[in-house]
Every structure is written in structure tokens, then in C-alpha cells.
Structure 1
């Protein structure tokens, strides 16, 4: 696949969740086909999609190349009572972990279908999702063993603030943060 000349980047919100759910799940199935990750199955992943898209502040960008879905990114602001930072080690300061409901945007997923990897599609989708956000920072979790993915995010300005296993059955993840303003 050659570099897309121009991606059509479409925004979706909480009210669009039912409309885009199948598309998100289908692209996920394609991207994770053959994966041995216990959390990569359609039914497990659907729980994450439903959890995040149920939030009022849910935001999603889907990229299209000549009408063909390329990939997507989505997330939502962390609530004032989030447990996002609770299991990060080393423990972070209370000042760092204090959330207001509008301080930190959690980027839950970013994925691009194989033919469009290495074309800049990931960065375009990521940047469009974050463009104009009011939060002061973005956080995401990356598999600790996925050094190439971590390096990509570091190249975009993210820094690792610790490691976490946020729930039973989850792999070791690196918590990363990008300051927006």
C-alpha cells in the first residue's frame, strides 16, 4: 500500500457509539487475527469498546482512504474518581494523579490495519483525535513488551511514567503521558 494521499478523518462521539460499534470490532478482529493475547478476542474487546463509548466524553476518529476504513483511535477524559493511576509503580504523587474530569484524556485504543501501517495513518488519526482537546495531557497504556510501539509514542512526545497491571488478566503495561498544554 502506498502512502495515502489524504485520509478522510471522521469524528464520532458518545451518541454515535451504536453506529460505529460493529466497524470498531471488525477492524479490531482483523488487526488481532491470530493473536494469542487473551484480551484480544472479539467478546473481550467489545467490553472495552462498550465501557469507553458509554462515557459522555467519548471521542473517536476513524480514518478512511478512498472510503476504505484504515484505522481508528478513541478515548475519553478520566473522571475525578478514576482508578487509572492506582496500580502504577512506582507510585506517582497525589499532585500528578489528581483528576478533575477534564485534566487528562485517556487514549484507550489506536489501531491501523496492516496495509496502512508505516504510511503515517496512525499519526494522522492520533493527532486528529487530540486536536483542540481541552485537557492538559493525554495518557495511554502500552504493552511493556512492545518496544517498537513504545518508541513510536516516545517519538510523538509521550514519556513513560511507570508500569501497571490494571486488572486481573492484563499484561504488564507502561503508563505513558503526553503534555498537551
Structure 2
């Protein structure tokens, strides 16, 4: 694989390349789409993308697209959690003696405390070549937040193993409010990388 070229996009710029975002999703989540799970349908995925990039709600949204040989080969995106945002809704922290005060303290956001890494995907033809890690690092490089969070399906052993290798650790679980959303494990990573 030739060295990827990374292009950064704001929410408005991401909306301008919506068809590229959908194409990368379709070429990355082939098996998930084929499963018929409504949450993984391209239509449901693009509805979530449109919500993430909505001009009213998309403060701080950042998309990185990796191009290999001039073609989009993968993408990653996220945003900083703002005070009062719904990002921690339904969070269940792992049992470790935490009381309600600890949960409240853990979920307090200041716009510069937590970056929510929402998606990393690599087209099937480029998988297994280090592109996911390169996208991860490119998206998180230079972030000013103290920590990052992401959600991963527990049965996605391949992704889970990579995240752990990259320094992520589990703190609990959460089921997002999206229709048909599965239960995800919540992982954290201290920043900077």
C-alpha cells in the first residue's frame, strides 16, 4: 500500500463529501450491512452521519479521510463533548465501588475534557495494512482534550483487540438512544497520544 494522504474536514465540509462517506461505509461494513441488522443499514448509518454533522449540533466535529492512490480508503471522525451534551446518556460504569457522585464527576464535560471518537472504518480491500491505526492517530493527534472515548460492540473481537493494543481500556457499557442501537462497551484513552 502506498502512503495514505489524509484530508481533514469540518462538519460543513464533511456534508459536501457525503457520497464519499457513504461509499467508504459501504465498502468497509460489507458483512454488517449483509447481516440485515437495521442499525447497520446504509440508510440508518447516513441518518446518524447527518445528525452528527447537523450545523446546529456539530460543534467541533472533525472528519479525517484517508486516500490511497487517489481513492478514499478509510475514514474516522469524532467531536469534543460539550457541557450538557447527551454523550454519556445511559452510561453504566463498571462496578468498582463507584457511587452516584463518581458517575456525575466522570461525566462532567467542559468542551475540552473528552473527545468522542465515533467512527473508524477502512475499506475491505485496504484492511489489515495499518490504515485504521493511522486514521486513529491522525484524528487524535494534537487534540487539546484530556481524554477520548469510543464505543465498541463487545463481540467485535478484532476491533476490540486493536483498541486495547492502542492503549484503550473499558470503563463500562452504554446503549445509545439511536433506534435499534446495540449495547456497546465504553472505552477510554488518555490524551495526548
Contact residue 14 and residue 63 of structure 2 kept, 8 A: no
Q: Which residue of 2 aligns with 1:47?
A: 47
CA shift, 1:68, in A, is 1.6
Q: TM-score, normalised by structure 2?
A: 0.86
CA shift, 1:82, in A, is 1.8
Kindly provide the CA deviation profile for residues 100-122 of structure 1, in whole angstroms up to 9, marking residues without a partner as x.
12211111111000111110000
SS in structure 2 of the partner of residue 170 of structure 1: coil
Contact residue 6 and residue 64 of structure 2 kept, 8 A: yes
| Separation (CA, whole Å) in 2 of partners of 1:36 and 1:155 | 30
Q: Which residue of 1 aligns with 2:140?
A: 130
| Separation (CA, whole Å) in 2 of partners of 1:25 and 1:80 | 30
SS in structure 2 of the partner of residue 99 of structure 1: coil
Q: TM-score, normalised by structure 1?
A: 0.92
Count, aligned residues: 178
CA shift, 1:56, in A, is 2.4
Structure 1: stretches of 5+ with no match in the other structure: none
Is 1:178 the equivalent of 2:189? yes
Structure 2: stretches of 5+ with no match in the other structure: 95-101
Kindly provide the CA deviation profile for residues 104-147 of structure 1, in whole angstroms up to 9, marking residues without a partner as x.
11111110001111100001111011111111111110112112
SS in structure 2 of the partner of residue 39 of structure 1: helix
**Which one of the candidate residues 52, 58, 62 is aligned to 2:61?**
58
More helix by share: 2
